[in-house]
């Protein structure tokens, strides 16, 4: 979802090198070496396994993709003097599952004393990409509303919904200004899944009664609060309304 949006954002102005996962598995150092060459302006790493339960069931794969992959990219970027952009997660605030640990460790790789040319953005609950690309909660909810079926949602875990267009705009400004570093960035707001669903229904003008269920059987324990306090971006409500009107109405 994020990678596709970057392609749309950059395609007109840049020559893009877009290897598929089969062509370049970032967990394999020789494959990374084939693609990162001197003279490249920037490497953007959007590769990640973000399904928390999948990571819990497949810890080795999660470590390879979410930690070893970024480590390989950073190593070669440093050797070739190429800036690297990486995306972390505020789900790493509490290291209670495999996903959180791998994302936490991926951010810890970046140290200005070793290599300065990096941008790391820790973010949360991404939405965007439209009907075909949005596989996260907002996309799921928008599709579920069409069915009219009973929808049960948690109301005890907090997030900051983040619109990928706003995120990319912020990231690109940091790149253009060469403001290297680690940032925590997301749209303003702190909501539960239940609260977010009601906001979506209000935007659509649909009356829907969502049911609270805080006892879902999940494989991995969940972080209680991954919300973002920084105010780099606009309100999630404004971004969500724009996204739904542009992509779904």
- For residue 40, the tally of other CB atoms under 10 A from its CB is 15
CA atoms within 13 A on the CB side of 24: 17
Mean pLDDT of 158-164: 97
| pLDDT tier, 133 (very low <50, low <70, confident <90, very high otherwise) | confident
CA atoms within 13 A on the CB side of 217: 0
In this predicted structure, the answer to whether residue 84 has a pLDDT above a threshold of 80 is: yes
| pLDDT tier, 130 (very low <50, low <70, confident <90, very high otherwise) | confident
By 3-state DSSP, what share of the chain in percent is helix, strand and coil, each rounded to 5?
45, 15, 45
Q: Can you give the pLDDT at residue 102?
A: 98
Contact in structure between 247 and 139 (CB atoms under 8 Å)? no
Q: Can you give the pLDDT at residue 135?
A: 84
Q: What does the pLDDT look like over 177-194, one tens digit per residue?
A: 999 999 999 999 999 999
Least reliable range by pLDDT among 112-116, 140-144, 233-237:
140-144
Name the pTM for this structure: 0.94
Q: Can you give the pLDDT at residue 37?
A: 93
Q: What does the pLDDT look like over 211-249, one tens digit per residue?
A: 999 998 999 999 999 999 999 999 999 999 999 999 887
Q: How far is CA 34 from CA 24, 43, 70, 222, in A?
A: 8, 13, 15, 38
Mean pLDDT of 141-169: 92
| pLDDT tier, 149 (very low <50, low <70, confident <90, very high otherwise) | confident
How far the first Cα of the chain sits from its last, in Å, is 20
Tell the burial category of 44 from Cβ atoms under 10 Å away from its Cβ (0-12, 13-18, 19+). buried
Percent of the chain with pLDDT over 90: 88
CA distance 116 to 119: 9
Question: What's the CATH code of the domain at 215?
Answer: 3.40.50.720
Contact in structure between 87 and 121 (CB atoms under 8 Å)? yes
In this predicted structure, the answer to whether residue 148 has a pLDDT above a threshold of 80 is: no
156's tokens: 């005890």
Q: Can you give the pLDDT at residue 131?
A: 83
Q: Can you give the pLDDT at residue 134?
A: 86
Q: Can you give the pLDDT at residue 144?
A: 86
CA distance 41 to 81: 10
47's tokens: 């590769």
- How many structural domains is the chain composed of? 1
- Domain extent, residue 94, equals 2-247
Q: Can you give the pLDDT at residue 245?
A: 93
């Amino acid at each position: 979802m994020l990678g596709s949006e970057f392609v749309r954002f950059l395609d007109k102005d840049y020559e893009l090198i877009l290897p598929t996962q089969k062509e370049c598995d970032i967990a394999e150092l020789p494959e990374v070496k084939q693609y990162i060459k001197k003279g490249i302006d920037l490497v953007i790493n959007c590769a990640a396994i973000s399904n928390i339960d999948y990571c819990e069931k497949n810890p080795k794969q999660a470590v390879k993709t979410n930690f070893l992959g970024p480590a390989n990219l950073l190593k070669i970027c440093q050797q070739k003097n190429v800036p690297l952009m990486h995306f972390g997660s505020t789900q790493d605030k509490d290291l209670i599952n495999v996903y959180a640990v791998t994302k936490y460790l991926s951010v810890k790789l970046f140290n200005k004393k070793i290599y300065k040319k990096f941008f790391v953005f820790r973010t949360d609950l991404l939405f965007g990409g439209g009907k075909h690309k949005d596989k996260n909660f907002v996309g799921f909810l928008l599709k579920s509303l069409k069915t009219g079926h009973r929808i049960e949602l948690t109301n005890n875990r907090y997030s900051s919904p983040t619109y990928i267009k706003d995120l990319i705009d912020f990231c690109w400004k940091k790149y253009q200004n060469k403001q290297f570093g680690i940032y925590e960035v997301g749209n303003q707001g702190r909501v539960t899944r239940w609260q977010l669903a009601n906001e979506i229904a209000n935007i659509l003008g649909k009356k829907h009664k969502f049911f609270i269920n805080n006892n879902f059987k999940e494989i991995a324990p969940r972080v209680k609060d991954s919300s973002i306090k920084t105010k780099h971006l606009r309100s999630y409500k404004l971004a969500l309304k724009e996204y739904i009107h542009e992509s779904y109405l």
